[in-house]
Amino acid sequence: MRLVVVAGSTRTAAIDGISAAGADADALRHTPSADLEILDYGEPVQSPVVPVSPTGCPTPAVVTRAVREHVGFDVTAIDAGLARPTAAPTVDIGDGPGADIRDVDPVPDAERLFERARSFAAGLPDDEIAVAESIPGGTTTALGVLTALGERPAVSSSLPENPLPRKRRVVDAALATSDLAPGGAAGEPVRAVRRVGDPVLAVVAGVVVGASEAGTTVRLAGGTQLAAAAALARHAGVDEPLSLETTSFVADDDSAAVHGLADDLGLTLRATDPGFTALDHPATNAYVAGEAKEGVGMGGALAMAARDDLPMATVRETVVDLVDDLLAARTAGERRQVP
């Protein structure tokens, strides 16, 4: 199995109270770059930050990495507009961060990103791929896209209390700037992602469309952001079966309505529970308390673990080992210079 992880950034994430995907505003800009390093090397290699939330909840990349250490799936990282350098190998499709969706034309090259990703995915030799994202602020842009397409406007959050009213105000302002009504971009996925989305959504949608057209089975490894990418693919005419593999934390989040979204979009939903309640560790307790919930392919990786009969207890032990190593390195300030 190949996991295609699309990483990038949107300045929408800088809006106060939108994202918990970084300890502070500066660290947040490094999160996707550090996530890719964790997936590839097991730790941040050149990135100066360890991606944690303001309360210290570690990035879901550690869960995906933990599964990878046992299952050994391939990772193909796509740079769809990283804000900071990464030492992880990437396929470069993006041209830098997306703008705040309340600005005019936040993803001006959406068409090109979508088409390049579509062409890239159509060329992959795999029978089956999983697709994931890493982009702080991505649930807000996902809400923008779902609203513009006229789909169910409900998304999850990396915060325990989903700031949905705040996200809706951002999306309302974004739609107004772009002179779009809810549903105004139905059937026009590139327009939706260009006006109220982010570059990662444009690339993920392109990957889903290109792979589906080439006959590759696509697993959407994530939560409501991947559902928004699926919505873009449906509005681009993809009617192949698609599955959405997420975590129990997203599935249990009533504010996110992922079941309804999956039904609306004809997605087979699979939610996998890593059983974090069996532990008492600050990292896993943070997930149990509703932080992070999903990202960087976590739900898809847990589904791979389940399919491979990898015990969740083994996944949990590896997660705890990885987190302890990460936080020890963070405390020791062992981060090295960006090349």
Question: Which residue ranges make up the site for its own copies (CB under 8 A)?
Answer: 40-43, 45-46, 72, 74, 76-78, 87-93, 116-117, 119-120, 122-125, 336-337, 339
State which residue, 47 or 158, has the beta carbon closest to its own copies: 47
State which residue, 41 or 311, has the beta carbon closest to its own copies: 41
Within 8 A by CB and 6+ apart from 210, the residues are: 117, 118, 119, 120, 121, 122
State which residue, 46 or 248, has the beta carbon closest to its own copies: 46
CB of 168 to its own copies, least distance (A): 35
CB of 129 to its own copies, least distance (A): 11
CB of 307 to its own copies, least distance (A): 18
State which residue, 46 or 178, has the beta carbon closest to its own copies: 46
CA-wise closest residue to 273 among 254, 259, 293, 257: 293
Q: Which amino acid is at 177?
A: T
State which residue, 41 or 328, has the beta carbon closest to its own copies: 41
State which residue, 119 or 268, has the beta carbon closest to its own copies: 119
The CA distance from 281 to 294, in Å, is 18
What are the angstrom distances between the C-alpha of 254 and each of 136, 155, 170, 210, 260? 21, 10, 21, 32, 10
CA-wise closest residue to 61 among 31, 22, 35, 88: 35
The CA distance from 210 to 217, in Å, is 11
State which residue, 76 or 225, has the beta carbon closest to its own copies: 76
Strand order in the sheet with 267-272: 74-79, 2-7, 128-134, 217-221, 242-247, 267-272
CA-wise closest residue to 294 among 270, 261, 312: 270
Question: CA angle, 243 as apex, 267 and 33 as ends, to 5°?
Answer: 115
CA dihedral for 264, 216, 210, 106, sign (positive or negative): positive
CB of 110 to its own copies, least distance (A): 15
Q: Give first-to-last CA distance, the chain, whole Å.
A: 31
CB of 277 to its own copies, least distance (A): 31
CA-wise closest residue to 136 among 175, 166, 100: 100
The CA distance from 303 to 309, in Å, is 10
CB of 298 to its own copies, least distance (A): 20
State which residue, 44 or 163, has the beta carbon closest to its own copies: 44
CB of 13 to its own copies, least distance (A): 24
CB of 184 to its own copies, least distance (A): 30
